[in-house]
Amino acid sequence: MGKRWKILGVAGIFALVVGAESSNKPKIGALPDKPPEPPDNPTTPEKVELGKLLYFDPRLSGDGSVSCATCHDPNHGWAKKRVMSPAYPENKHFRHSPTVLNVAYNMLMFWDGRAKSLEEQAEKPILSPFEMNMNYDLLEERLKAIPGYVERFKKAFPGEKDPVNIKNVAKAIAAFERTIVCNDSPFDLYMKGDKNAMTPEQVKGMKLFVGKAGCVQCHNGVNFTDDKFHVTGVPKHKLESNALVAATRNFVLREAGFKNPESIDRDLGRYFLTKKEEDKGSFKTPTLRNVSLTPPYMHNGVFKNLDEVIEFYDKGGGNVPNKSKLLKPLNLSDEEKANLRAFLEALTCKNVPVVEEPELPEYKN
Ligand code: HEC
Ligand code: HEC
């Protein structure tokens, strides 16, 4: 797990686990109160306040119409309830928008894990031509024309000569994201000792999760992800053949050095980064926390609800030659499937952070 987790305290992680007959077995556990933070970006109230404004500010995008909240919407479980994510006007996105709720506990960002921290991640959508389509230098100038921002950057990054810059934009947004966390799900309460917090069905579902259904092999740790990549064989969504979705995917592929992107007719995940045959269709294991709030599911939003996801796993995943050996047909009964779904629902917080859209500072005349 490395040193990032030290801050959480060893007891925080290892005290509250199930499926732990042997110490090598993967485990799930309650989420500690605070996510880890990097030494060069400690969370302060000033940074969080600034980051919140930036998160909701569409002026971070080229034409002033798209903010982080457009695609990671507090009213949609901090994800977006549509198959493919929204995109910069006139474009279509080629991936489903994941939640930023509790993302602060993750080690890898994006479906293909191409960013390693929230700070690194936050810079990318601002530049992406099909997300926010902005230019960093122009953004800095724009923010400097807003006195309410200049003042707040100074407070958030005291002592810095020229604090209004893209690195600090990313740091402030990351600090805000570290406050979009919750750990009061029935599962967390159960693990902390309230044995009535989960229903008997949910407890049975948890036993299946760590036992017969084998979900814990990949969805483990406090955030239900092993921070690794697997080929599960998720079927193609018909939208992946849409001309504009394909145009975006082809653009991404050409940027990544693929000479003939038209020969690829769907999202192949980590393969786009590594170009290794075994990575074709390999995606990062996503968190399952609050999963009931964020349909549809998978990198391409192909499954409408949790029942469809469970059916997929019951069949042992999809039909691709390089599929993970960890996936096998499960032969779950209807009752077991219902219990498993009940357990996934027990991962939803009682108090999901609600954040009202803040009033944004104005340009000087
Ligand atoms: C136009 C839609 C759009 C906008 C705007 C956008 N995102 Fe995203 N975001 C996505 C999509 C889609 C993904 C997944 C993309 C991928 O995996 O390649 C993503 C991934 C992420 C992730 C990684 C989550 C995970 O579990 O891996 C984080 C964190 C995130 N976005 C934060 C932000 C922040 C902060 C902003 C604003 C600076 C922002 N996003 C703007 C659509 C958007
Ligand atoms: C071999 C590793 C592995 C196993 C075992 C596994 N998963 Fe997954 N899971 C993944 C990966 C990887 C994805 C993302 C796949 C994609 O988007 O193409 C995923 C996606 C999901 C999603 C969608 C989450 C979202 O936000 O879109 C759910 C729900 C889920 N898994 C539940 C389960 C359940 C329940 C089990 C046990 C029956 C299970 N998983 C077993 C690796 C695994």
- Tens of pLDDT, residues 294-343: 999 999 999 999 999 999 999 999 999 999 999 999 999 999 999 999 99
Question: Is 234's pLDDT higher than 80?
Answer: yes
Q: Which two tokens stand for residue 256?
A: 């990544």
pLDDT (0 to 100) of residue 15: 36
Amino acid occupying residue 177: E
Orientation of helix 334-345 relative to helix 200-210, angle to 10°: 100
pLDDT at 23: 57
Atom 41 of ligand 1: nearest residue by CA position: 68
- Cβ of 95 closer than 6 Å to ligand 1, yes or no, is yes
134-162: b (≥16 Cβ within 10 Å) or e: beeeebbebbeebeebeebbeebbeeeee
CB 235 within 8 A of CB 311: no
pLDDT higher than threshold 90 for residue 256: yes
Q: Given the CA of residue 234, which atom of ligand 2 is nearest to it? A: 18
Amino acid (1-letter code) at residue 325: K
CB of 117 closer than 8 Å to CB of 38: yes
pLDDT band at 18 (very low <50, low <70, confident <90, very high): low
Q: Does residue 343 have its Cβ closer than 6 Å to ligand 2?
A: no
Q: Is 291 in the pocket of ligand 2 (CB under 6 A)?
A: yes
pLDDT of residue 25: 76
- Nearest ligand (C-alpha, residue 116): 1
Cβ-proximal residues to 349 (8 Å cutoff; 6+ apart), any chain: 182, 183, 184, 185, 289, 290
Q: How many angstroms separate the CA atoms of 223 and 29, rounded?
A: 8
Phi first, then psi, for residue 62 (nearest 5°) are: -50, -55
CA-only gyration radius of the chain, Å: 21
- Ligand 2 centroid distance, CA of 21 (Å): 23
Question: Residue 281 in contact with residue 127, Cβ under 8 Å?
Answer: no
Phi-psi region of 133 (alpha: psi -120 to 50; beta: other; left: phi over 0): left
- Grouping H, G, I as helix, E, B as strand and the rest as coil, residue 72 is coil
Mean pLDDT, residues 66-83 taken together: 97
Catalytic residue among 119, 131, 177, 336: 131
Confirm or reject: Cβ of 282 under 6 Å from ligand 1.
no
Q: How far is the centre of ligand 2, averaged over its atoms, from the C-alpha of 126 (Å)?
A: 29
d(CA 282, CA 324): 9
pLDDT the model gives residue 21:
47
**Domains of the chain in sequence order:** 3-30+185-234+281-345 (1.10.760.10), 45-177 (1.10.760.10)
Condensed to tens digits (0 to 9), the pLDDT of residues 120-146 reads 999 999 999 999 999 999 999 999 999
- Which residue would you say has higher pLDDT here, 10 or 206? 206
Does 290 sit in the ligand 1 pocket, CB within 6 Å? no
Q: 212: CA distance to ligand 2 center in Å?
A: 15
Q: Does residue 220 sit in helix, strand or coil? A: coil
CA dist 346 and 206 (Å) reads 9
Ligand 1 close to Cβ of residue 86 (< 6 A): yes
Residue 17 has pLDDT above 80, yes or no: no
Rounded to 5 degrees, what are φ and ψ at 231?
-95, 115
Asked if 196 contacts 336 with a C-beta cutoff of 8 angstroms, the reply is no
Task: Quote the CA–CA distance of 27 and 1 in Å, as a whole number.
Answer: 13
- Going from the Cα of 85 to the center of ligand 1, the distance in angstroms, rounded, reads 9
Cβ(78) to ligand 2 under 6 A?
no
Q: Where are the beta strands (DSSP E) in 227-351?
A: 229-231, 282-284
pLDDT of residue 26: 82
Which residue lies with its CA nearest to atom 36 of ligand 1?
A: 68
Q: Which atom of ligand 2 is nearest to the CA of 296?
A: 27
Answer for the pair 17, 24: CB distance below 8 angstroms, yes or no.
no
Mean pLDDT in the chain?
93
State the residue for tokens 């092993």: 226
**Contact indicator for 357, 69 with CB cutoff of 8 Å:** yes
Q: Are 125 and 132 in contact (CB under 8 A)?
A: yes
In angstroms, what is the span from residue 257 Cα to ligand 2's centroid? 29
